[in-house]
Amino acid sequence: MIRLLLFLSFSSLVNARNFEIGIPNLLYPIKVSLPENHKPREKHHTLLYYHRNSGRPTTSLMRNHPGSKGWIVAGMTYQQQGTFTLNADTWQAERKAFHAVRKIMVDNHGTDPDDLYLAGLSKDGWYTNLMLQSESTVSGGIIMGAGHLHAAPTTFEKYTSPKPVHIEFGRSDGNDHAALNALLYHRRMGGILTLEVQPKLGHDFPDNGSPSLAQWLKRPPSSFPKTHLLRTEKLLKCFEEQDKLRPKRLKPIEPETEAPNSRWRIPGSPLIY
């Protein structure tokens, strides 16, 4: 009987820490994973993770990297599924969905409104890049297997405060120069940039995870070890020497075509996500 009560108590805790939130006009509910040390009356830094697998929300990748403590992780999805047509109307719809989730998390689940981050791989990395440019309520972000090619429909001239941005990609990824361009772009915007290049990887994520991403998530979001920033500078210098990196090296993409390894589409635009 005691074992049964203990099991039921443990199950209740697990269910309380992992739950779903239904949002109007979103096909799938948002998945939320609270940390073990979560306290509803305290503020917690939060990561909204956009997932490319058919738009179905998940939290596992981002929960596994920092571990079970510290971060609230929410698995996000899109108002528009599949290939994304970026224009003023669709952009407004996606931002409206983001703000609906943000409000629920801040009002009911302890999210610190001044400590909210986005993350995404591939299509979702392009989206994170766009949101960083135009959403003042986003404190920073993680861009993986993607980068910067095009300004969002609304964008800042410069960040009002430094935003930490981590960029990660495989050396054989067709998006490598866009990722490096994102590093240059967000640094010009006033971001604090860290970079990791997986030397044997293409357009994918390491099977065993990313030590760099784990480091970024396990430290306080506002704390950036100088050693890691120096590593970023060394990696960038290496690319500059090997590839003669310049923003003009980015090849223009013809209208009505798609960027490499991407599902973003902008009708009539020379640059496609």
Could you state, in order of their start, the residue ranges of all structural domains in the chain?
Answer: 82-273
Q: From the CB of residue 238, how many other CB atoms can be counted at a distance below 10 Å?
A: 12
Q: If you search the block for the tokens 């993680």, which residue do you land on?
A: 142
pLDDT for the residue 141: 94
Q: From the CB of residue 185, how many other CB atoms can be counted at a distance below 10 Å?
A: 21
Q: For the full predicted model, state whether its pTM sits above 0.85.
A: no
pLDDT for the residue 199: 80
pLDDT for the residue 231: 60
Side chain identity, residue 109: H
Options 3.40.50.1820, 3.20.20.80, 3.60.10.10, 3.10.20.600; CATH of 82-273:
3.40.50.1820
Residue-wise burial string across 99-113, b where 16 or more C-beta atoms lie within 10 A, e elsewhere: ebbbebbbeebbbbe
Q: How is residue 31 written in tokens? A: 């998945």
Q: Are 155 and 185 in contact (CB under 8 A)?
A: no
Measured between alpha carbons, how far is 211 from 208 in angstroms, rounded to an integer? Answer: 9
> Strand 44-50 and strand 30-33: pairing?
unpaired
142 - beta bridge partners? 119, 166
CA distances (Å), 198 to each of 51, 146, 170, 186, 255, in order? Answer: 20, 13, 5, 21, 31
Instruction: Quick: pLDDT tens for 228-261.
Output: 555 666 666 665 555 554 444 434 333 333 334 4
pLDDT for the residue 132: 93
pLDDT for the residue 128: 93
Measured between alpha carbons, how far is 114 from 99 in angstroms, rounded to an integer? Answer: 14
Q: Are 146 and 174 in contact (CB under 8 A)?
A: no
pLDDT for the residue 233: 65
Q: How is residue 78 written in tokens? A: 């899109």
Residue 111: φ, ψ to 5°: -65, 130
pLDDT for the residue 101: 95
Length of the chain in terms of residues written: 273
pLDDT beneath 50: ranges in the chain: 1-16, 227, 245-273
> Strand 84-85 and strand 44-50: pairing?
unpaired
